[in-house]
Amino acid sequence: MASSEEDGTVEEKENNNKKRTKSALITAWLTFYNIAMTAGWLVLAITMMRFYIQKGTHKGLYRSIARTLKFFQTFALVEVGHCAVGIVRTSVIVTGVQVCSRIYMVWFITSSIRQIQNEESVILFLVVWTVTEITRYSYYTFNLLHHLPYFIKWARYNFFIVLYPLGVVGELLTIYAALPFVRRSGMYSMRLPNKYNVSFDYYYFLIIVMLSYIPLFPQLYLHMLRQRRRVLHGEVIVEKDD
Ligand SMILES: CCCCCCCCCCCCC[C@@H](O)CC(=O)SCCNC(=O)CCNC(=O)[C@H](O)C(C)(C)COP(=O)(O)OP(=O)(O)OC[C@H]1O[C@@H](n2cnc3c(N)ncnc32)[C@H](O)[C@@H]1OP(=O)(O)O
């Protein structure tokens, strides 16, 4: 009897040790990931400021940061993985829409259409994304290290109130500016007849993307307002599972 109790205790201890090791590994990975992302977005911020100070214009700025931006924005796909495997308490759908729409904006709009890269709207969404991401990733990092300064927490759950709509305005104006170039060049489009017997018009696809902001953005914004009430005002929010 005594020996089976002892066995149980040994098993429990082993299980607890495994859980502790797993949670330490997850914390270490997330800390590394968030530090790397904070650093990446800080590099982008510094590069943009230096470019503007040296050249006195925003023209050519996008080209100077395009590679770094593509790398760090695409790397954010890892976050969808974090939610999918359950190592962070966030919705896969909310994170997926947020991350994929940004990746789409970078790869299939701004980087693909050189003629729009000098639009002011591009600078608008770049500045907004940069401020948001430096705040967000430093919030996660300090939170994981249990040393979260209140102003970072405050910034994380207040800046978005203004930055989110501004970012959307920047993105929509950029897509709008792309429309004439897409129509003229016929890029990413397939006209009939072709061997697949399929037709696709990227111009109309872009219009659909713009329209999809109408149902999707309010949901993301409301999600952040709920997170704000939970974190800053301690409200208990019951959310539906994905
Ligand atoms: C292919 C065609 C494309 C079609 C496109 C369609 C368009 C759709 C419209 C989309 C509009 C998007 C516009 C957007 O791009 C514009 C901008 O972004 S402008 C800039 C302003 N933006 C923001 O402020 C973004 C705010 N939104 C978010 O932050 C996101 O919703 C999200 C990234 C998903 C984060 O939200 P989340 O639910 O995760 O909230 P929390 O940050 O509070 O986190 C919840 C808990 O999880 C922990 N967590 C999360 N991530 C991490 C991490 N990396 N490391 C450690 N811990 C993490 C966090 O600490 C919380 O834990 P706890 O509850 O214990 O506090």
For residue 163 and ligand 1, the question of a CB distance below 6 A is answered with yes
Choose among 99, 97, 98, 123: nearest CA to 110. Answer: 123
* Ligand 1 centroid – CA 98 distance (Å): 6
pLDDT in tens, 155-197: 999 999 999 999 999 999 999 999 999 999 999 999 998 988 9
- Nearest protein Cα to ligand 1, atom 64: 89
Q: Is 146 in the pocket of ligand 1 (CB under 6 A)?
A: no
Does the beta carbon of 30 lie inside 6 Å of ligand 1? Answer: yes
| Amino acid 1: pLDDT | 43
* pLDDT 10s digits, 70-124: 999 999 999 999 999 999 999 999 999 999 999 999 999 999 999 999 999 999 9
pLDDT tens digits, one per residue of 204-238: 999 999 999 999 999 999 999 999 999 999 887 66
Q: Closest residue (by CA) to atom 10 of ligand 1?
A: 217
Burial of 111 (0-12, 13-18, 19+ CB in 10 A): middle
pLDDT for 8 equals 66
Which residue from 80, 88, 202 has its CB within 8 A of the most atoms of ligand 1, so it is best to mutate?
88
Q: What is the CA radius of gyration of the chain?
A: 22
Determine the Cα–Cα distance for residues 161 and 168; give it in Å rounded to an integer.
Answer: 12
Give the start-to-end residue ranges of the domains of the chain: 13-233
Distance of alpha carbon 108 from alpha carbon 103, whole angstroms? 8
Burial class of residue 3, CB neighbours in 10 A (0-12, 13-18, 19+): exposed
pLDDT single digits (tens) 33-74: 999 999 999 999 999 999 999 999 999 999 999 999 999 999
Question: What proportions of the chain, in percent to the nearest 5, are helix, strand and coil?
Answer: 80, 0, 20
Determine the pLDDT at residue 206: 98
Q: Which atom of ligand 1 is nearest to the CA of 30?
A: 55
Task: Name the phi and psi angles at 88, rounded to 5.
Answer: -130, 150
How far is the C-alpha of 43 from the C-alpha of 130, rounded, in Å?
10
SS3 200: strand
For residue 102 and ligand 1, the question of a CB distance below 6 A is answered with yes
CA distance 155 to 143: 13
pTM of model > 0.95: no
- Over residues 9-22, the pLDDT tens digits come to 888 888 888 888 87
Q: CA 66, CA 109: separation in Å to the nearest integer?
A: 12
The Cα–Cα gap between 26 and 43 comes to 26
Q: Which residue has its alpha carbon closest to ligand 1 atom 38?
A: 90
**Gap between the Cα atoms of 97 and 240, Å rounded:** 17
pLDDT at residue 242 above 50? no
Residues forming the active site? 164, 171
Residue with CA at minimum distance from ligand 1 atom 44: 90
Q: Which atom of ligand 1 is nearest to the CA of 94?
A: 34
User: Which tokens in the block code for residue 81?
Assistant: 């993985």
